[in-house]
């Protein structure tokens, strides 16, 4: 868009925060679709689920603690990411503020409606044909009890 090759396009972070002074939003997806969509979930093989359930629980808990840390210390967390990936700390802080505003990160409870929205996108682009029965393919027993209760 900035080169003039197209008149409109989709953008995400960090490009939006970096270029927002040069572009104008035509519409926000959140204004035409429900805002929550799960784009990433953890998956494991049946073998690992049986052989290493405590490893899986530890990974889930570690990620949850990371999300809590970001929420409690967003500027410091952004600075850590900026340093790790050698990117502009001010830009990273802005992206983190934006992500916190839209509740981008989750502690790990499963939101089946949000997962279905990603499935709908996969159907649109021809990557899936049938709906997914999340009750059959997920195992919330690996989640902490409070996250199991918040899964819906």
pTM of this structure: 0.82
Condensed to tens digits (0 to 9), the pLDDT of residues 25-82 reads 988 877 877 778 888 889 999 999 999 999 999 999 999 999 999 999 999 999 999 9
- The tokens of 63 are what? 């990620």
Q: How much is the pLDDT for 108?
A: 94
User: No. of H helices and E strands in the chain?
Assistant: 9, 0
């Amino acid at each position: 868009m900035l080169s003039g090759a197209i008149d409109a396009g989709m953008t995400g972070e960090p490009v939006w925060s970096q270029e927002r002074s040069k572009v104008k939003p035509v519409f926000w997806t959140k204004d035409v679709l429900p805002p929550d969509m799960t784009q990433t979930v953890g998956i494991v093989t049946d073998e690992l689920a049986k052989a290493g359930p405590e490893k899986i629980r530890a990974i889930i808990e570690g990620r949850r603690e990371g999300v809590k840390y970001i929420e409690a210390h967003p500027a410091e967390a952004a600075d850590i990411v900026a340093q790790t990936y050698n990117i502009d700390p001010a830009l990273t802080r802005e992206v983190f503020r934006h992500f916190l505003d839209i509740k981008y990160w989750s502690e790990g409870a499963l939101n089946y409606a949000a997962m279905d929205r990603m499935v709908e996108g996969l159907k649109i682009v021809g990557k899936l044909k049938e709906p997914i029965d999340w009750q059959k393919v997920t195992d919330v027993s690996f989640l902490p009890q409070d996250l199991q209760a918040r899964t819906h």
